[in-house]
Amino acid sequence: MEPSLPDPNTFAALAVAVLFGIVVWDAYWLTRQRIDVPTLGELSNGGFAWESQGAQELIRQWGNLGSMAAMMVLPWGLVGASNTSPAYAIAWDICLTLHLISLLIPKRYAVTRTHAFADGQRYDWQRLRLAGRQPARRIMLLRKGWGIFGPLPLGGVQNDLTIARERIAIAIDHTDQWPQFESKKQDE
């Protein structure tokens, strides 16, 4: 007796449910960005906070947007071959469209002596490093231990990125120099 494959509709429902969970989880973290980064500009602790615009998020997320477009098309080729209801492919595309929208909304970022704040998350500098080659219109941080799967790009206008890149270099490479930087800012 040959083992039977699981029902394609059950599998599709599970896949859509997992994707919906990811979209809701990401949306939750994005709502926290105004809580974690309530003010913009120079921070009292020597840090810096800024906000991107939709165009900068498009530049920041171009790779993810391409991946999402491919993931939206892929199920349609499998629907007929697997005898899956097209409703699941439609639900899949709706979830990915919501995720695409969340990728493009303006984001708030901040760098402090101890952490980077991006996408509603807080990252300890010990877990991050600057990429060796920096793109011109964003900052590319890498999560240590993640290899190619751990990029953390930061978007914004060039002036904000220049200031942030300076603070990031100090925070990552010379955390002992941050208090000197901080006291210099307080004297101005």
Number of neighbouring beta carbons within 10 Å of residue 23:
19
- pLDDT higher than 60, residue 182: no
Read off the pLDDT of residues 113-168 as tens digits, 9 standing for 90 and up: 999 999 888 999 999 988 888 888 889 999 998 877 888 889 999 999 999 999 99
80 by Cβ neighbours in 10 Å (0-12 / 13-18 / 19+) ranks as: exposed
pLDDT given at position 139:
92
At 174, the pLDDT band (50, 70, 90 cuts) reads: low
15: tokens are: 């896949």
For residue 145, give Cα distances in angstroms to 28, 41, 119, 131.
26, 31, 20, 13
Residue linked to tokens 């953390």: 152
Higher pLDDT, 88 or 45: 88
Please state, in angstroms and rounded to a whole number, the distance separating the CA atoms of residues 50 and 41: 6
Higher pLDDT, 104 or 181: 104
pLDDT given at position 151:
87
110: tokens are: 């901040």
- DSSP, res 1: -
CB 93 within 8 A of CB 72: yes
